[in-house]
Amino acid sequence: MKTLHQVQRYGFNNCSTMKFYLYVITDEAIAGGLSHAEIARRAIAGGADVIQLRDKTCGCRELCQVGRDICTMTKKTNTLFIVNDRLDVALACDADGVHLGQDDIRPGVARQIAPPGFIIGVSVGTVEQAVKAEHEGADYIAVSPVFSTASKYDAGPGRGLDRLKEIRRNVSVPVIAIGGINRDNVPDVIDAGADGVAVISAVVGSPDITKAARELKLLISTRMEALRYERLIT
């Protein structure tokens, strides 16, 4: 039997057909002072499928305004828009969803507040957390961090590709890989079962965000296609 969130998910957002290939997280410091909106604009031009607004210091009112500006862009370009941590901001700026960490509001509680079809993503580091997040209504999970990263001071050590594979085997929602992912390791990440990759530095830290996004997206799509073909013939 489908849970309520699955009915909502498939009924309204059709999450099963959603593409999460390239998920770009905004970071003004890593972008050398570019605004969140400008980072989003450049990443979308390079083919980002999802934009996450992430700012740990910005006040609520300003964050809502930034979110509304990004939302206008993502709606026009059919890009998903997710707000990090803040369910209130995500709802206020009409984002498609919220991304929650292990210390944020519980996904099940967020689900009770959010409208039907609202996307809830959850960061996990273990199989237990992943299974729990799915059970509580997460629409996707992010395995975090797959590799060590300097972009999040408290991310902890990389969990590795075996952990990613193990989590993939134990949940049915889309699995996004995050942390230290770049052009060199992205094929291995896709081979390990990720449905998409979330990045900051590999795209936002590049002097040409649009080009970096385009190149990373191409690497992801190419590897996804190759995998699909391999599965068809084996």
What is the binding site for ligand TZP (CB under 6 A)?
25, 144-145, 149, 151-152, 155, 178-181, 199-202
Residue 15, CB-side half-sphere exposure with 13 Å CA sphere: 24
Residue 178 touches which of ligand TZP, Mg ion, none (Cβ within 5-8 Å per kind): ligand TZP
Smallest separation, CB 188 to ligand TZP (Å)? 15
> CA-to-CA distance for 116 and 109, rounded, in angstroms?
13
> CA-to-CA distance for 211 and 213, rounded, in angstroms?
5
Active-site residue identified among 86, 123, 151, 217: 123
Active-site residue identified among 152, 163, 168, 223: 152
Confirm if 186 and 152 have CB atoms less than 8 A apart: no
- Tokens 């590709």 -> residue: 161
CB closer to ligand TZP, 121 vs 137: 121
Q: CA 39, 152, 186 angle in degrees (round to 5)?
A: 70
The alpha carbon of residue 156 and the mean position of all alpha carbons in its chain are separated, in whole angstroms, by: 19
Residue 166 touches which of Mg ion, ligand TZP, none (Cβ within 5-8 Å per kind): none
Active-site residue identified among 41, 42, 54, 223: 54
CB closer to Mg ion, 74 vs 84: 84
User: Which of the residues are catalytic?
Assistant: 54, 123, 152
